[in-house]
Structure 1
Amino acid sequence: MPFQFPQTGKKTRRKSGAYLTLQTARYTTEAAAFDARHGTYLLKDPAEPDGYTMGRRSQKTPPTAGRGTQDIGDMLQRPMAPKMATPAERTPASPDEGEQHGAGLEISTAPQATESLAGQDTQTPATKQDIADLLMEMRRMHAADINLIKSEMQAMTARTRATEEDILDLQREVREIKDTCYHMQAAQSTLITRLDQTEDRNRRTNLKLRGIPDTIDSSELPHYLRRLIATLLPSAQAKKLVLDGCFRIRKARQAPTDAPQDVIIRCHSVTDKIKLLTAVRGKTR
């Protein structure tokens, strides 16, 4: 009787292409050996160009190698694709499936590992001399760039140092200018004080008033003088009159003992002084 492919009672999970190819090759090899022993041969089914089915046993033809046997031999000699099955495809889904396909797993994993190792391109490991030569070559390649960067860094460093020195010089000059300004402000204050004193002593715009009682305090003296000027001049002229200051002076030596101290009025302009003198002379006349 012709060889029959073994059938399993349960549905198995779909396997990878490499696994199915190995299983098909195994069953086909066993079929060819079986038919060779029993004097049968395989015929290729024209309805299935990619697969092989069992042919009928012929009682009239001698046990010679047919076309199907030659195709099987060619297929067995053809190299298989080095495709490794994934861990999910290798591991069975359940213990029953693992027992049913244990032989298939052993056949599929060993050749696949052999094919994958044979397909790898092994290389000789690099030695220390090779690594040193590679480093020297890289240094030669980047030597020009490194030298350029070094020169630029040196130029930038020199410029930075020159800038720092200029900043220090500017700081020293600023300190000197600050000291000079401080001394000039002090001298200006001194000059202003002396100018005020000189103007106070100047008699061109000053008027001396006598007979003002000493009971009037110095703080009330400007208001008293304003009222006095209002009695001498008309209201319009009295409002326009500007006094820069007023103060008391010491008594003259020939002045009586009970006489009050004289008061000096400093007018803002000579015109104001003349107006006051004219008003006083008119009153006395």
Structure 2
Amino acid sequence: MGKKNKKLQGSAVPRQPDIRLSFKLPQRPKMAPVACVSPEASEASIEEEESLPSPRLDARSYMPETEEDEAPTTKGDIKKILVEMRQVWREDLQKVQTDVEAGRRIVQGLETHEASRDGKIRATDQSLLELTSQVQDLRCTVTTMEARQRHKNLRLRGVPESVENTQLLHYVQDLTAAMGVKSATDKMQITTAFRVRKAATAPSEAPRDIIVVT
């Protein structure tokens, strides 16, 4: 009896709660598994995100279309415009090249003509120098001959003006014959006779002198 009472008394004592079970530990958030993504795939995903339309409202979409909105924006249209522009530029360049070639030919012709003219000018200068030298020689010769001729010429004064120029030669020949000079066989032979201008100091009533060329 005593042992049973002891067991009953021991079973009647309530158990103390376990403190460890009363506190709940904080749970960590579950992480999604990380997948290996290549750089190409990441760039493609970024391009897809950029290509997606923005949820923001664009005021230009509600504005009326203008001439600028009607301009071609596709690659084909731009390529076509570039081809047309290149064709126009090519034609303009060909025209410019043609004009340049024509100008070059003209310049070459002018250079050739200029060189030929320079050669002619040099030849003309040389000929002019030679002619000038010849003229100088002839002038000296004429001066010498005139000086020698003057020593043989005669100057007659006092012959009246009534004797005309056509009669001067016969008048002088008759005068020399009257003076006793032989005209045909003598050393002096009269070839011509002419009057000269009156000297400034000569009297106004005096007749002009006569030069007798012998």
Does TM-score exceed 0.5, indicating one fold?
A: no
Give the TM-score, by structure 2 length: 0.39
Give the TM-score, by structure 1 length: 0.31
Q: Which has the larger radius of gyration?
A: 2
